[in-house]
Amino acid sequence: VSVFVTIVGTLLAMLVTVMTAYPLSKPKLRGRKFFLRIYIFVMLFSGGMVPNYLLFRSLHLLNTIWTLILPSMLSVFNMLIVKNFFEQLPESIEEAAIIDGASNMRVLFTIILPISTPVIATVSLFYAVDYWNNYFSAVLYITKQNLRPLQQYLYELIQSSMNLTD
């Protein structure tokens, strides 16, 4: 479960992060400042544990593997890192590709992403470590034994060994 959550979660989180950061890196995007302010507000003030639990319960996602993946799908901090990297890339590269007939998605996937491997590797590592170390989501949302991640098993092993010494 832990390996699946780490790999799938990192891949999906990177896809969502890149797809969010790329348009926000364009200065000509209408409403760019508004959306950036919304993301910053969400980064600073989250909904909290109880509203998240109620949301997952109403969506019938409790005791599914997706409750371990979805809450960490987009980190605003990581998105801002990728956005700032995209803003530093020369605009002439994209303009040349668009003149040659490439669509925005083709420009992103065939030109921008290969250039952006350093930031993608860094942010992917951030996401992978976050997913691997995520213990709290499993405690909140998972009650089935077969869906518990490795971290929960290790915690129970340590607790049982401490109870033996008492």
- Identify the CA nearest to 144 among candidates 67, 70, 59: 67
Average pLDDT taken over every residue of the chain = 90
97: pLDDT strictly greater than 80: yes
Band of pLDDT at residue 160, cut at 50, 70 and 90: confident
Q: What is the pLDDT of residues 3-20, one digit of tens each?
A: 999 999 999 999 999 999
**pTM for this structure?**
0.86
What's the whole-number mean pLDDT along residues 105-126?
Answer: 94
Rounded percentage of the chain residues whose pLDDT exceeds 90: 51
The pLDDT of 150-164, averaged and rounded, is 82
pLDDT at site 41: 93
Which sign does the torsion angle of CA 152, 157, 162, 163 carry?
positive
* Predicted pLDDT of residue 166: 58
Six-digit token string for 100: 């040659």
Q: Give the pLDDT confidence score for residue 165 in this predicted structure.
A: 65
Tokens 């499993």 belong to residue: 138
Question: Phi and psi dihedrals of 48, rounded to 5?
Answer: 110, 170
Rounded to whole angstroms, what are the CA distances from 152 to 85, 93, 122, 162? 36, 47, 27, 15
Q: How far apart are CA 83 and CA 8, in angstroms?
A: 22
Structure tokens at 128: 């992978």
